[in-house]
Amino acid sequence: MGRLAQTDGLTEIQRDILATVRDFVDKEIIPVATELEHKDEYPTAIVEGMKQLGLFGLTIPEEYGGLGESLLTYALVVEEIARGWMSVSGIVNTHFIVAHMINAHGTQEQKDYFLPKMAAGEIRGAFSMSEPGLGSDVSAISTKAVKDTGGTSRPEAGGEFYVLNGQKMWLTNGGTSTLVAVLCKTDEGGNTPYKNMTTFLIEKTAGFGPNPTVPGLTVPGKIEKMGYKGVDTTELVLQDVRIPADRILGGVPGRGFYQMMDGVEVGRVNVAARGCGVARRAFELGISYAQQRSTFGKKIAEHQAIQFKLAEMATKVEAAHQMMVMAARKKDSGERNDLEAGMAKYLASEYCKEVVEDAFRIHGGYGFSKEYEIERLYREAPMLLIGEGTAEIQKMIVGRRLLEEYRIAE
C-alpha cells in the first residue's frame, strides 16, 4: 500500500470501510477501467457493486438507512475510487451533494421521502446549477420558476405549483439520475439576486430524450468529452415544467443560492479528493514503470533525473492529501470551511495535473499509447482544473477570506 497519503486518527470503522473500498477498487475497477473508458461505457456492474457495499448511503444518517459517516470518510472513499477510475467517483459525487443538501436543508417530509431511497441507491441524484452562458457568475442564471397557483392536481401541496423554463448545462449523471436538484430564479426571496434563487427537487425517469414522467423536461443526450468518460454529462432543458411547491428544497423560496453553495463546499472537497486519488495512481504507475524500463544499461529509476521527479511527485501527493483531509475535518466540525475547501481544491487539482504529467514523461513514448493506463489519466486530470470552480475562482475565494481574517484596523 505504501506510506503516502495515510490519515491519522481514523476509527476502526473508517479503516475497515477504506480497506473494503480499496479491495473493491483493486479487484473490480482498475482491471476494467481503461477498456470501459475507451468505449465511453457506463460502468453498470461497478455501480451495482457500490450499491451492495452501501456506498450511496455513506453519509446519509443511520435513521434514514445510511451509514452516517463523516465528510472525511466520504472524501477518503472518493480518493480510493478515483485512484481506480475518476469517472466512478463522479457517479457518487453529485449523489452525495444532493443527499447532503436534503439532509442539511430539506423539510422533514423531504428527508423522510428521499433519503432512505438515496441510501439504498434506488434514487440517484444530480446537481444542476450551471447554464450554457453562465460561467462562474451564478447570479446571472436565467432559468426561471414562476408561481402558478391555478393547479389543483396536488391537494397536499395546497394546489400551488411553479412553472420552470430554461436550459441547464454540465449535469454529471444527467441521464442516469432519477432526482435533480435544479437552481432557478424565482424573484420572490429578497432584494438581491442571491436571495431570488430557489432549489427545486425534480424526480424524473432515467434516460435521454423527452422524459416520460415529467412533461416538458428533456435530457438531449451525452456531451462528448476529451476525458471523464463513462459517466454521462448532459444538458437539461425545461419547457413549462410544472413542479409542486412542496418540492422546493426546505419548503421556502429564496434560499437556493446558499443551499447550493453549501453543496459546492462538499463538492470542492470531493474534487480535491479526486485529484488526490488520480495523482496517487499516477505516482504508482510512474514509480512502477521506472523500475521496469532500462536505458543506458540500468533501470531508469536509478537515474538521478527520474529520482528527482519521483521525489517531487510523492511530495505533491502527500501535500494534497493532507490539505484535503484538513478541509474535510473542518467541515465535519461544523465550522465554515470555504477557505480550506478552496485551498484544497486548488492545490489538489494543480498538483494532480503536474504529477500525472510527470508520470506521463517517465513513460516516454509509451505514455502516448492507449495500451498504457497513464494515457487515460492524462486526459482525465484537466477536468479537475475546472470542476466545482476554476483555479481562478478558488484564488478569489481564498483571497477574500484571507482579507477577512487578516484585516488591519483603520
d(Cα 365, Cα 360) in Å, to the nearest integer? 9
Sign of CA dihedral 166, 168, 174, 177: negative
Burial class (CB in 10 A: 0-12, 13-18, 19+), 231: buried
Amino acid at 279: A
Amino acid identity of residue 288, one-letter, is S
Looking at residue 28, the DSSP 8-state letter turns out to be: I
Q: 62: Cβ–Cβ under 8 A, 6 or more apart, which residues?
A: 68
Could you tell me the CA-to-CA distances from 87 to 40, 229, 247, 251, 278 in Å, in that order? 10, 6, 29, 33, 11
Residue type at 159 in one-letter notation: G
Catalytically annotated residues: 388
Measured CA to CA, the distance from residue 240 to residue 234 in angstroms comes to 20
Q: Decide: 152 and 139 in contact? Cβ < 8 Å.
A: no
Residues 6 or more apart in contact with residue 354 via CB below 8 angstroms: 313, 316
CB 103 within 8 A of CB 245: no
Q: Where are the beta strands (DSSP E) in 61-160?
A: 125-128, 144-148
CB atoms within 10 A of CB 299: 13
For residue 260, give the nearest of 389, 357, 92 by alpha carbon. Answer: 389
Helix (H) or strand (E) holding 243: strand 233-244
User: Hey, how many other C-beta atoms are within 10 angstroms of the C-beta on 8?
Assistant: 6
Query: What one-letter code names the amino acid at 92?
Result: V
Report the DSSP pairing between strands 125-128 and 179-185: parallel
φ, ψ (nearest 5 deg) of residue 59:
-100, -5
